[in-house]
Amino acid sequence: MMKSMTGFGRSEMQDEQYRFTVEMKSVNHRYLDFNFKIPKKLSLFESAVRSLLKEYMQRGKVDVFITYENYTQSRISLKYNREIARQYLDYLQEMGTDFSLETDITVSNLSRYPEVFTMEEQPDDEEELWGILEQVLRNAAEAFSASREKEGADLKNDLLEKLDGMQEKVAAIEVRSPEIMKEYREKLEKKLGELLEDSQIEESRIAAEVILFADKICTDEETVRLKSHIENMRRVLSEGGGIGRKLDFIAQEMNREANTILSKANDLETSNIAIDLKTEIEKVREQIQNIE
């Protein structure tokens, strides 16, 4: 399905040990650009997070917020440093010998010396953490992708309506073209008749002038190409996926043809239609900037 580049997704998972929350939001961008806010303890997973999210998106500036809480106390453990206690004991005994003092060392006293007992935080199980984080990420990414698809469907309908309007304007230009020729011929006959004061004007002379004029203002090629571009854009819209760049290129080509028609226009009605056509194309190009 066609996707917008703006979207939002959120997921949360909590049990007795952990609480993970993932939020992501995006805006338009020419490429795929991530901005991560990840707790230090989870920073080792950033590369894996980036690879996972690329499965769900191709373009956009995406902000990803991950929060993590550990409710367990079992990660803290008491450590007895035997070697340090032995060194304290050896030095105390040595001091007693050096100064002829009675050695009154007890376990309770020795345990109070620095570093004999220490509190250590046990490392988290990385595989367990990633297993939970991956699931939360996928849930958020799926919600994010769904929001992009919904907005993409709205964009598609809007673009199809605009394409219908553009096709009507192209058809109006085609209808107007032979009328311009007819009006020009009538004006030419009248003008030549006034100048020559002769109602019997050579048909070949008029025909030659009309042909020169028609060649100058003819927009048949441009309207044919415009109709082709309109149909091509409809086809691409039906394909879905990452089509934003392709649509933008087609819109540029449409604009080029509309500019040519406007430059050739020697008729107020045609000029007005061409201006309206260019306006619609610009609206299409603006909408396309939102498509992935």
193 token code pair: 């008749």
Query: Which is more confidently placed, 70 or 202?
Result: 70
pLDDT for 206 beyond 60: no
Among candidates 187, 188, 190, 265, which has minimal Cα distance to 222?
265
Sign of the alpha-carbon dihedral angle for 124, 128, 133, 134:
positive
Q: ∠ at Cα 213 (211, 215), nearest 5°? A: 70
**String of DSSP letters for 196-233:** HT-S---HHHHHHHHHHHHHHH--HHHHHHHHHHHHHH
pLDDT for 196 beyond 80: no
For the segment 166-176, what is each residue's pLDDT rounded down to a tens digit? 999 999 998 88
Global model pTM greater than 0.75:
no
Residue tagged 């020169």 (tokens): 212
Q: Is 10 left (phi over 0), alpha (psi -120 to 50) or beta?
A: beta
Residues 6+ apart with CB under 8 A from 266: 180, 213, 216, 217
pLDDT for 287 beyond 90: yes
CB 206, CB 188: distance < 8 Å? yes
For the segment 49-63, what is each residue's pLDDT rounded down to a tens digit? 999 999 999 999 999
Q: What pLDDT score was predicted for residue 248? A: 94
